[in-house]
């Protein structure tokens, strides 16, 4: 009997030694997504005694619960306020078990949490709303459309060496017009200010949107290159996307009008150019503040 008790006590000591550290709580702060041929960002918040846990060495091993695809190992780096982040190369979507080892001052704590890994619905999220691949493709098309309009306008306006230089410059913009980071920046800027406009109580009426669409339709109709591209894209699909786009444009313009009115009030003796300059600066400052206030996730 004494021998059995000794064995039990020995096993208990071993189990205690495996997790001798404080009791931490782990919470996933971002959804975990599978991306083909790309590591998936993983971010957690660690707390102990209801406070952010700092100064930890955090490692994780992720394995699928229903399939054997091996184990993805990752070391998470510490950020601010108990945030730890890293990247894990995952084999596919599905249910995973994440085994975390948290160490500080020689004391280790083991934690296991269950995760569901899905495919992302886009390239980024703003306050939980996806910026989809279709959104990005539309913005890329808009950029291409503008480049073709500029080329056609340049051919009408310039000739000789000046035309050659103008077309060369437009050609140099092709890569930038397709750059995903640039496209995401364009989308985030507009959506952020549209959200701010809604927070301020502004609305984009059907009449306002229709008026703006009529203006842009008139502009496109002046250029055969634009009309051809829109037909290639599919006119119905294009104008449906433009309508949604111009709802946000109308909202952002209302914020611009608010800023302009405020600058005029604060600077009654300023000339038109100075007012426009100050309003532009104020708008950009407001944009930065708004973007920082939103939860934006770039995948």
Tokens 């000046």, residue? 162
Q: How far apart are CA 113 and CA 25, in angstroms?
A: 10
Q: How far apart are CA 49 and CA 53, in angstroms?
A: 9
Residue ending a domain, choose from 120, 136, 154:
120
The answer on 149 and 116 residing in a single domain is no
Write down the pLDDT at residue 7. Answer: 41
Max Cα-Cα span within the chain: 103
Q: What is the CA radius of gyration of the chain?
A: 28
Walk along the chain (299 residues) and give the pLDDT tens digit of each residue. 444 434 443 344 444 444 455 789 999 998 899 988 889 899 999 999 889 999 999 999 999 988 888 899 999 999 999 999 999 999 999 999 999 999 999 899 999 999 999 999 888 999 989 999 999 999 999 999 999 999 999 999 999 999 999 999 999 999 889 999 999 999 999 999 999 999 999 999 999 999 999 999 999 999 999 999 999 999 999 999 999 999 999 999 999 999 999 999 999 999 999 999 999 999 999 999 999 999 998 87
Write down the pLDDT at residue 70. Answer: 86
The answer on 177 and 56 residing in a single domain is no
Q: How far apart are CA 52 and CA 24, in angstroms?
A: 10
Q: How far apart are CA 127 and CA 24, in angstroms?
A: 28
Composition of the chain by helix, strand, coil, percent to 5: 55, 25, 20
CB 25 within 8 A of CB 46: yes
The answer on 70 and 180 residing in a single domain is no
The answer on 147 and 41 residing in a single domain is no
How many beta carbons lie within 10 A of that of residue 290, not counting itself?
18
Say if strands 107-117 and 40-48 run parallel, antiparallel, or are unpaired: unpaired
Coil vs helix vs strand at 174: helix
Query: Counting Cβ atoms within 10 Å, is residue 19 exposed (0-12), middle (13-18) or buried (19+)?
Result: middle
User: Based on the structure, what is the number of domains in the chain?
Assistant: 2
Cα→Cα distances 178→40, 50, 175, Å: 24, 46, 5
The answer on 221 and 139 residing in a single domain is yes
Write down the pLDDT at residue 234. Answer: 92
Helix ranges (DSSP H) in 72-159: 133-157
Write down the pLDDT at residue 176. Answer: 87
CB 146 within 8 A of CB 121: no
The answer on 105 and 8 residing in a single domain is yes
Q: How far apart are CA 280 and CA 274, in angstroms?
A: 10
The answer on 128 and 97 residing in a single domain is no
Q: The domain spanning residue 45 has which CATH number? A: 2.60.40.1080
CB 102 within 8 A of CB 58: yes
- Enter the pTM of the model: 0.74
The answer on 47 and 142 residing in a single domain is no
Would you give the distance in Å from CA 280 to the centre of its chain?
A: 24
Q: The domain spanning residue 213 has which CATH number? A: 1.10.4030
Domain range spanning residue 230? 123-298
The answer on 137 and 97 residing in a single domain is no
Query: Counting Cβ atoms within 10 Å, is residue 208 exposed (0-12), middle (13-18) or buried (19+)?
Result: middle
Query: Counting Cβ atoms within 10 Å, is residue 112 exposed (0-12), middle (13-18) or buried (19+)?
Result: exposed
Write down the pLDDT at residue 20. Answer: 53
């Amino acid at each position: 009997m004494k021998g059995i008790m000794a064995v039990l006590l020995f096993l208990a000591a071993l189990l205690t030694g495996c997790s001798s550290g404080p009791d931490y709580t782990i919470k996933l702060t971002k959804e975990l997504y599978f991306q083909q041929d790309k590591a998936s960002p993983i971010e957690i918040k660690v707390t102990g005694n209801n406070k952010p846990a700092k100064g930890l060495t955090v490692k994780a091993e992720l394995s699928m619960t229903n399939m054997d695809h091996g184990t993805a190992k990752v070391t998470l780096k510490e950020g601010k306020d108990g945030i730890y982040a890293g990247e894990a190369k995952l084999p596919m979507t599905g249910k995973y078990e994440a085994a975390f080892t948290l160490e500080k001052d020689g004391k280790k704590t083991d934690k296991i949490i269950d995760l569901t890994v899905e495919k992302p619905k886009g390239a980024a999220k703003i306050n939980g709303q996806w910026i989809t691949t279709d959104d990005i493709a539309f913005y890329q098309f808009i950029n291409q459309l503008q480049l073709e309009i500029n080329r056609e306008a340049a051919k009408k306006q310039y000739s000789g060496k000046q035309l050659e230089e103008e077309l060369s410059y437009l050609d140099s913009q092709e890569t930038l017009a397709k750059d995903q980071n640039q496209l995401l920046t364009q989308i985030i800027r507009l959506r952020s200010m549209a959200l701010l406009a809604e927070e301020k109580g502004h609305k984009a009426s059907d009449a306002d949107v229709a008026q703006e669409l009529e203006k842009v339709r008139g502009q496109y109709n002046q250029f055969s290159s634009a009309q051809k591209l829109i037909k290639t894209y599919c006119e119905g699909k294009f104008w449906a996307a433009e309508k949604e786009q111009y709802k946000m444009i109308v909202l952002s313009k209302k914020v611009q009008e608010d800023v302009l009115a405020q600058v005029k009030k604060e600077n009654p003796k300023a000339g038109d150019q100075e007012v426009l300059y100050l309003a532009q600066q104020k708008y950009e400052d407001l944009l930065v503040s708004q973007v920082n206030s939103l939860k934006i996730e770039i995948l």
